[in-house]
Structures are given as C-alpha cells and as structure tokens.
Structure 1
Amino acid sequence: MARPPLPAAALLAAALLHCAPAAPARRHKPDVSRKHHTWKEQSPWLSSLVNAVGTGVPTKGFPVGAEEQATRWNPPRCGVPDLPVLPDGQNGRNRQKRFVLSGGRWDKTDLTYKIIRFPWQLVKAKVRRTIEEALKVWSDVTPLTFTEVQEGRADIVIDFTRYWHGDNLPFDGPGGILAHAFFPKTHREGDVHFDYDETWTIGNNLGTDLLQVAAHEFGHVLGLQHTAVSKSLMSPFYIFRYPLSLSEDDKQGIQYLYGKPKLDPDPTPTQPAEPPQPDLETNEITNVESVQPDVCNTDFDAVSTIRGELFFFKFRFVWRLRAGKLQAGYPALASRHWQGIPSSVDATFEDPLGNIWFFRDSQYWIYEGERRVAGPTPLAELGLPASPVQAALVWGAEKNKIYIFSGGNYWRFNPHTRQVDNIYPRTMADWRGVPQEIDAAFQDEFGFAYFLRGQDYWKFDPVQVKVLDGYPRQISQDFFSCTPSSNSFR
C-alpha cells in the first residue's frame, strides 16, 4: 500500500536522509576493504521524523518483531527508520509493494540539471559523463528526460561543497557523511550536495564511487525514499557493484511516480558511435618515462598527508599511497591534481581548513582542492626569510600546529593569520634525534612524526619527544616495498 503523504514538517525532515550507523554515535572513517557500507546522507532531525511518522520503530532500526534477529545480526545501515512490517492479514493485497515514496513528485518529465562545482580528483568531462549515466538509469525506465545546462536556472542543482554550505547540514571532511539530497515539493527541491572532501572515484572501490552515490541521490531527488528490498539501488546499504542497474523494486517505485517510457513512433536511425575521446585525467605519463625517478633509489622533495592520503613529491611527479598501498597508475604528474603547480616543490601541507599549500624557492601557492586560490606569493608575507622552505609539518592531535623548517631552524606558523608566531626561529635541537637538515616531514594518523633526509627517514615519538630506537630506516623499503639497498651504510 502506498504510504500517505507526510505532513510538511516530516517532508522537510525526510528530504535530507542520512544513513549513519545506528550505533554507536561515535563516527569512524569507513573501511574500504569491507563489502557493505552505509549510505551516509544527512538527517539531524531523525527523532522528529520518527515522531511525525509515528511508526514505533525499535531503536535498532529493525522492523517490529525482529528484535531477536537484531541481537544476532546488526550490520551498519541507514539511520532513517523503516516502515513497520504489517502482520499477515492487514492490507495483505498490497504487501508486495516495497518501494517507499517521499510524498512528492515533479509535475513535469523534462528536467534540467546543472553542476555548480566539481570534485578535485576528477576532471570535469568525466564527472559530467558520470552524472549523465547516473540519471540515465532512471530515464531509461520512465518518460523522464534530463538535459544539462551550464547557465541560468535548473531543476536539479548539483554541487560538490564542504563543511557549512548554507542548508544547516554541514559536511564533515573525509569519511563520515557523503551526500544528501532534497525531495520534490520541499523548500529546496532538486538540490543534491556531495561532500567535496571525499575521495571520489569512478568504477572502482578504492574510494567513494561517484556513479552509485549519484544514482542513489537522484532517486531521492525524484521522490523515492529508501526501500527494505536488499540489492536495490535505493537500499540504505551501499554495495559496490558493476554494472549499475535498477532492481525491479526501484523500477516499480519510479514508474509508480512517472509511468513507463513513451514509445517512439518514428525512431531515428542509430548513429555510429563516436570514437572515445582521450580523458585529460590520466595516471599515465607519456613521453616522459625516461626521466621518471626510480622510487627504489631516490630521495623526495616533499611529503604530505592530503585528504587522508599520503603524497610523495619528486620533481614534477607524485606518488599516492592510501592505507599504506601505492595506488594503481602512480607516479603521475603532480599537475594532474593541481594545475599551475611549480615543476617541483620544496614543501607542502594541508591546513586545518583543507587548503593545500605548496612552497618553491622564495614563493608559495595555495590550492582549494584542485583550484588555485593564491600564489605565487613571496614568503616574506608570511614573516619567513626568502630562503627556500625545506619541509612543513602539520602537528598535534588536532592538527592545528604547523611548523616550517629551513636551514636547520624551524618556525611555528599560524594558517589563520598567515603569519609565523615569532620571526625568530628555534633550532632543530628541540626535535631530539632528528637530523639538522631535512627534506620533508609529515604526521601519521597515530600522531607520530616522520622526518625524511635523502633516502632515509626518522620516526619521532610525540610522547617521549624523541626519535624512536632503530632509526633511520629506508623510505623505499618501508613505504614502497623495495628490496633493501645492498650498499646502504649507517
């Protein structure tokens, strides 16, 4: 039986579904090695939604009568409550209708959409094709059409944004909340927001797959809530699978709202497929392989943790490590991620606001994701000497301390004021066991600092405030699984 329309307050609450694990409240970063993940959308008004709907859903989120099952198996799932399962004999003739409607639908079938901003990891052309493909899974089974516009008003507005962005539903940086969307007939119908700080990928499970998340969110924008039918696109559980397709439940739900596709009485002849155009986004390096550094026999210009991943820089190349593993296709040109970056960098770091800083000689650049927002700017504006910066370290449990290293000295830097705290530096003697001159530095997720010089690195304990025993060790061996160098001297 179709769910009756919700009151306006409930529609507003339901419009921003979020699917965080039901318990515990403490948020952890997702484990990409697991097969099942929750759709992490947003709904801080979950409790008000439960009251408005009045479903009497048990606290674990399982249907009435499933408490015993919940105690045995309670996987991560959407925090939005399901409709209760009706006992046999109550509305039995409609029991097979599993799809759930939001209570709203578009009054037209020809919809326009516009992409305001793009994720920094992917080029715009590929994002546009992916969004088009995500919408196509719905238009293939309905009379709906979707046309991209780049100027003026649009029915569906897609944005990759971060933290507070104007709808009182802030994103939270890498991990956690991924996206949210507004239902038809709500005050922001058609808005779809993706967290800019996620690791967006296409066609693999190494990050957050944009195609599947976008298709799911577009289901909400068109008027569908979550379904209890497993393996449906509108299921609250995210399962990476290809090719992307609708389940019968998804199909029945969207066709209940908009009907079946119209038959074309005079189909046009099939046009020959255009040859695929080469992507600008590529991890392949062409015509420069001969000068590519050997990762097992090189030092590095800079190293930094950016968006939760570790980036090693050498000349114009970058190596990218996620969860300690080198990603396929790397090294790549650093300019693939940051257009206009210098041909080589001396140091880099990501500040607490998510801005990425690069230093080269007596200048610095600032990027917001892939977009340059400042630079080149003289180092003197930061209160630093004109001599090149050798390394930058984001330090502390809150990652709110930034240290700049140069010429055997270091400064503490405030990214909010964009000034060093004191124009007079301190000496490297404060970092017991660390070499006087270093090439790069970074902090890991456990709070340890790493200092690199040449092909070696030193691991610094923040509790004992000194380098751990057994260091230095080889960078190539521990980070890139290279065979230990036979001519290494200590």
Structure 2
Amino acid sequence: MNMGSRNCVPVSLLGYIAFVAFIYISGSAVSAKTIFLEENAPTLDEVNFMKKYGYLQEVPSSVSMTYTSQSIAEAVTRMQNFAGLPPTGYLDDETRKLFKRRRCGVKDIEAKFSTHRRKRYILQQGWGKKAITYRVINGTSTLPKTRVESLMKTGLEVWAPHGGLNFRMVDHSKADIEVSFASKDHGDGFPFDGPGRVVAHAFPPPHGAMHFDDDEIWGDNPSEDDEDITDFFAVAVHEIGHALGLSHSNVKASVMYPYYQVPVEKLHEDDIMGMQELYLKEDVHSPALEVRTESAVSGRSSLAPRFTKADSEEDENDVPDLCYTNYDTIQVLQGKIYVFEEEWMWVLSEKKTILEGYPKRFHEVFIGLPRHINVIRTIYEKQNGHIVVFSGRSYWEFSARFRLVKRGRITEYKIPQVPELTTVFISNYNNKTYLIEYERYWRYDEATKTMDRGYPKEMSAWRNVPYPVDAAIIWKGDTFFFRGPRFWRFDNHQIRAHQYYPLPTAQIWFPCPSTPDMMQYTTNDEP
C-alpha cells in the first residue's frame, strides 16, 4: 500500500473541512458531525481495507455507489473501537498506522455493524469433537518443516487444556487442521499481498486450513530488533484460534486481537472464555455438577472455606465440593484420576466425569487401612499394579483390588525417616520412582530396590515448579505438578515447567465451571 499517495474515492469524499465537532448537552451527545480536510480523506486502499475487514459496507461491483462522510466516519469509528484507539471517527496518525500494520487476513466484523458486543470474543463453530488431527504440509525457506511441526505442537498445547482437546499429528492422510505456506493467489479466494500487512489467515471448522504467507521472513523467537522477521509461533497461536472456531477479539491483550503482537506468553481470559463456550459448555452443565447448590456455585471461590452443602440428604454437611475445596492430593491409579480430600475421595474418567457412586469415604475402598488414618496425602501405583498409601513414617500396600497386602516402613525405600512425603510417582521418562519431601526428592529403582546415587536433591532442580508440591502425576504421557489451585506441566527434555503454565486445576481437571477469579491462577503468585 502506498500511503504517500492520496488516490481518493469518489467525489463525495472530497471537500471536507478539517475538524471533528461533537456538541454535548448535559453530558450527552445530541449531535455528532465528522468533517475531513481533503488531505485527510481516505485513499482507495484505505477504503478497501475497511471494506475487507468488515468496517464499511461492501457492495457488489455491479452497483455504483459512493460513500458519504457519515458512513466513512462511522467506519473509522468502528475500526478505532476494535483496535482500542479513541473512537473519534477521524483519520489521525495513530489510526492510519493500522493500515500498515502486520495482521491476520481474517475479517474483524462478520455480522451487522456494531461497536458494542455482549461478548468480546466472537464464535463461529467448533469441531464437535475433542480428538483433532493436524498436518504440516510444508515449511518455508527460513523454517524447515520439522521446526514448523515442533512449533505447531507447542502452539496447540497452549489451547488444548481450555477445551479439553487432544491433538494428534498425521504425516500423509487428510487432517482436520492442515498447515501450509503459500504466496499471492493460492487458490482459496484470499490471495496474500507480499511482505508485510497480511501475514496469515485460517478457516474455522469444518475447513480448518491455516495458510501462512511464504513471502514473509518467518523466524523462531526473533528479537525485538528484528522488525523484518515475523515470529511464526506468535502468528500460529493466533491462527490456531481461528482453526478451532474463534473469530477476532477487540481486546488488545487477547491472542485473538487481529494485529500482530509479540511475544505470545499465554491466553487471555477472553480467549479462554471463548474456548470454554465452544468446547466445554456441555461439560460445565453435565449431571456430575448437579451435586452443587446454586448458592455454592455463585458465592464461593477456590480460596473459600473447604465445605459446601450437597443436595443429597446423606452427609450433606460433610461432603466437600470438588470445585471449591483445597484437596489433599491427586493421583492417577489404574488409568483414572483419584482426588482425595479429608476422608473423601472422587474418581474421574479421562472425560472429567465423576464416576457413579462418588464421592465416597476412602475407608470404604481401601479395605484394611487403619481407622486412625483420617487423610490421604501421599499415594501412588507401583509398577506391579499395587497401590501404596504413605502416612508419617509408614506405608500400607494394597492389591489392585484395594485389599491390604502389606504394611511397611518408609526406610524400606532406602530413604531416611523424613517428616512426611508430599507425593510419590513413577516417571514414564525413566521408570524411576520419585519420592518428594518438602524441599528434597529421592529417585528410587523399584526393580533393583536401590536408591540412585547422588540423592536426595533439591526441589529447585524442577525449574519453574514452586515447592512444596501437593501432588505429581503422569497423565497421557506428560508430567504434571499440583500446588493449591494451580498446576504445571513439566517438560522432561528441557527440565523445566512449560512456559504457558500454571493453569487453574478445578476448571481443567474437574467438571467445574469457570469463575471470575480463575485468571489469578495463571501466575506463579501464591494464592
């Protein structure tokens, strides 16, 4: 776009006078008239921009039409509102910069013109399923296909928890989401425009294609000084949102804001709420949630006192609310998620559904566990399928049918008598048993019944994971740490917590609705 020339649109845009007059009486605008100088009239390119992105009404090419000063001013105001600029209706320097900025090629306003929306996020449609395939068709001159695949995997992981989605890459077969680089006219009716301006676009389900302009210089985490390089990851996370069914957001901090911005560190609440509306709405209203009263849902937070009432007459004053309780521990046993709080336990399927009959008291399940054990904080499943409950300096081992088979001392694990273990788990990375105390951990080999050399080590070795931790689990091949209302996913290769964590535990792992205070659990700050 040549911003130096002023190829003005038809006559009705000429001869405008240079000021914006707003007349107010008692604080309310009774009339508003925007009048332009001839030199500030929009160019033909600028008018086409406003038509392309939905700010100015588009008419068939067969219809002869000129735009009035009022229609142009209204379009400019809509564009300013969406971009987070003062809505003056006047093409000032800041507004004109929008025409030059790198951005996504997807339209901003799809429906009737409106400067106010009940929801900031705009939805199209989701996939109608939780298992989604993707395929990277090609790379570009500055990013090989293998690196694009790696960045796409990470980008999809940013979105996955907020919709309960599972992504699987395929090599050759048709995929739900297909990623490719192309230039100029590439056959989808939305040609790219060369370096700058439109850098990518994507289509919502059931199409799901993501196209990146091959004329851009794509980079992997470029520095802020590299203005000519476009960060592929930042753009990919945005376009994934489109491929999952989200449209653009007028929230500047949102990933779905249409203009290019770096770095992308995590999703904004606006993005998360859109995903939950698309993919978790049925889960939020599932029968499993009916045990909570309306007042409990609306009036409690994750930091509130532990108990709330259940609808059932039995134990109505005793059963904690899973969505608003400070659970004692979480563990994966026999492929299901077990949650323990005081004397109660829940069992959840991989679809976050509470199994029938739960919650129940854990003494009803662990037959033979002494009655003086009134809380389970440390539990894990051994490689032979037995389940071990730790308490103090002792442990109780149960068969796969939850029948007591052995009582032992913690020293049998070749560790000293520590005050208390906080969690134990077997890593799928090396099949070693990790026994974690408050600030230290041990690595034990169950096959040889020996402790690895050099242990204990400090918990600070698990970088970016606050300690002490309440629980550590292996779920679907990944390692997760839990503390309070937050959880972290750990990268076993980089030996650090994934940078897009923590996330709120209740809304991701349990069938719990989102709450206004949910976003405070996406930082490492203590509750």
TM-score normalised to structure 1 length? 0.39
Higher-RCO chain (CA-CA 8 Å, sequence separation at least 6): 1
TM-score normalised to structure 2 length? 0.36
